[in-house]
Structure 1
């Protein structure tokens, strides 16, 4: 008879564990991408209930193609708007400066659409996916208090709503906790923030209360001395998102505060009737100080890294803030996917993440600052800018930023 052989059952190796601090757009996107890369993910946020602040945001093809990968683009189908065009207007007299076609034409050109969406709608879509993903655990009401790291793991100490200390251990910690990142500070990666001298005033106007011209499915940019205005429909076209940017001082505590409609209207007193009518259609505004950080330094340590505003806060003038956070998430996950680092060799993987993402986000940060200056020109410089816009084909605007829109963050070799 054949020899008896001892049978031993082998259990699969445990999945590497990623801990994410911050459940905003970047953190939730990272959870989904990293879980799909074969990791177990725990995502924590200090808020007991997730409530996204702000209003609308633009997602260019470099982000929408990534969201399609994790099913989010389909989830947004009924609530996102695909603009037909970007329209540029002169603020003082309402004269049309340029029009760049978007819609199907741009989606075909870049392989993915331009869309506009309310921030809360995007966050809710990401949250629903995360809540039903078998490899993702969501824990709310936990404030990051400390980080302790050794050769084999990283531990994050959180303070619960009742004051209790909670310790969570992981192979990797990702700080996705925004501009005033606690994770960044605890990691010893401080970098001073810079107030831009500009404030953003945001509101939503119900479609039926907005001027007729503002109801069109376009992204509109109005430029004038020391100010500019952006508006487009969100929430399936039911609301008009309006953002007014002005040169302003900031004396408030924190980085947001209610805004007076009368004060805002005074900044646009010399603008065209259309622009003033749009601003006057809103009875409430919220102001934000526009703050960024110099694109320098590093984001990562041996078992920890940053993404989104925690890594690279940027001016909104290229509409790339959320898109770059989504790119960060997809790029990091691509590097973590086997046969990549897994839970070993993380330090080398994170150095590669820094090397890939820091130069790109730095370039976009710098270009966003430059665009803000261009929008606010006055006098002869403004006239030269306007003449150039009128002479150049509208599609030139899109081709000029093809290096932004064509990028595929899923490809580390791109």
Structure 2
């Protein structure tokens, strides 16, 4: 008889599965049960970032008051019915973004607060979405989903790479996360591989490990192990049958398959159709629990998009941002409407006593307040409840406070997502009040 000694609890392991063993006389098996566990019936938290380049109308991005009586500037009017689930934040900034004072230098570190390399070199830092994906992304099929509605620009503008203004998500300091701008390919990321992690039996996954273990334990332990595995198999079958009959309690994704058809190949010529498809795919990703982390870049900073759908086709987005006229306001509202559309859809999906929006945090931001490159304060709105950790219907103003780093907000968001750090970017403490 082989005697195996382990200093911690022993497990059976397989692809994506770790299953604790019962006590066996042939092995010294014991466990650490001191760590608290989240209830399995609670829906997971999700985090998404929406980006609109070139800022907003200089006089119409504001909010004041609270709850139902909160007043909004005209840019934010599309969010009026969501204001009780909205947190308007004023005064945050990235100190490093002030150094170049140009689109690329203000966007490449928006989600990290990192110093950027100039001279056409590429160096930023891992963005908050990808840091979260690296920590919790293994729990889902996709660690994160990174979407865009305008292709990246590889040129150089005033000594900074335009890749900075084309990407808000960074997997490493030198690697912008691949950006998917084709709706059909984004859809395929969610559903092309139809084998979900839950489709395989736990026992099937650890079968080879169990066979190896049986060869090294006593006959009595083999019997005990077989009884244990049989009981797990029985529970698996009962759960499967209960799920088919609709009896299973606790949280499950509200969809297991897409409820919209696969988009056509290519990029839609209509910018409104393109954005709406990407919005629907993001909702599907959260609804099916394919991922819990997503970024959607509605356009680039220094964007070349035009808006014939709004009757505004005479000027590209970047140039329009310097006008501050009514057409610029219409374009701003069009972008905000995309965020409002997603928030309403998430809020219509029930997850027990909450909605999917209640279990999410949606960050809407730009790299400058308005088109004259003002990054001394960033436009920031948070929507959702963060699984009960985020209270909406409020306006928070940090403009006159000494510690107003945008990265403090990211520390707060990560903490609400279950990832606690001592520092991130140029911040060493979470943002009070969030």
Which protein is bigger by CA-based radius of gyration? 2
Class of the TM-score when normalised by the shorter of the 2 chains: under 0.3
The structure in which a higher percent of residues are strand is 1
TM-score normalized by the length of structure 1? 0.28
Structure of higher RCO (CA pairs closer than 8 Å, 6+ residues apart): 2
TM-score normalized by the length of structure 2? 0.27
